[in-house]
Amino acid sequence: MAPWFKISNRILSLFLLVTPGLSAPQSLDSVLTGVSGNVKNFRDSLPDFVCNERITSQNLDKTGKIADQLTVESVFSVRKRDAGRGPSLVEGREPLTINGKPAKKGTAFPKLPFRHGDGFSAGLFLTFHPDNLEFQTYKLAGSEGLSGNNALIIEFATKEGQQRLRYFERDGDSFALQHSGKAWIHLGAMQALRLDIRYLNTPNLNPYSSSIDYEEFDISGGKFWMPKKVKAEGTNTKSKTKGIYAAEYSNCRKFGASIEIAPVR
């Protein structure tokens, strides 16, 4: 087992799953080693880039009718910054259209009816980055077809009492995160195809969940598995209103002065 993470000593090396189409059975620790290594490499090697992004955010009233909705097309950018323990990904957005109307250059990104901040990279890093594996439990849960691929399913959950993985609020406060979920792993590439997360202790939102579908993008000749679609839903514990967030990404390319900015089509 790789030295940079720990897994519970519960007979993981003996827990093998034979997956159709593969020449050898897969053990949980070997899959985690492959996936977490790819997630680390993604964070370390990803260049500064931009994508076209389309976000639709809604608030539904108690009857399920749309009370507020905003659709924003924007240029979504990610730039790497040194965070001491490794690079962090800093996100930015330049609105192009707001509810179908062109936005003037320099327009601030509008306040969304329902905001989800963990869609692009945070959910994947929390779940599978090598530094975070020892704070969660994992188990193999079979396999199934997804997007034309045979995927291995891994169920995961934060360990009771863990303090490393944290939820950060807008005012800077944070608390230890509790979540559980499922990941669909492309065994040929050892990459996440889909990640479903249920957040169990977020303030004012219960239930609160997200689902992220990943796809391979070519950025300046490099292959990177990044979100294609993100969806999140949360119900306000006080008002009982429901928020829905959906984002789609396309045309991802390396950040540079020659980039042509155009609305999502």
pLDDT in tens, 133-169: 999 999 999 998 888 888 999 999 999 999 999 887 7
Residue 16 lies in a domain: no
Q: How many domains does the chain have?
A: 1
Per-residue model confidence (pLDDT) at position 255: 83
Residue 51 lies in a domain: yes
Per-residue model confidence (pLDDT) at position 33: 96
Residue 6 lies in a domain: no
Residue 261 lies in a domain: no
Per-residue model confidence (pLDDT) at position 112: 96
Per-residue model confidence (pLDDT) at position 83: 63
Residues 6+ apart with CB under 8 A from 144: 150, 151, 153, 184
Residue 130 lies in a domain: yes
Residue among 60, 78, 79, 80 at smallest CA distance from 69 = 60
Q: What domain range is 98 assigned to?
A: 24-250
Residue 43 lies in a domain: yes
Residue 264 lies in a domain: no
Per-residue model confidence (pLDDT) at position 87: 67
Which residues of the chain register pLDDT less than 70?
1-25, 83-87, 118-119, 170-171, 257-265
Residues 6+ apart with CB under 8 A from 261: 75, 94, 96
Residue 12 lies in a domain: no
d(CA 8, CA 137): 8
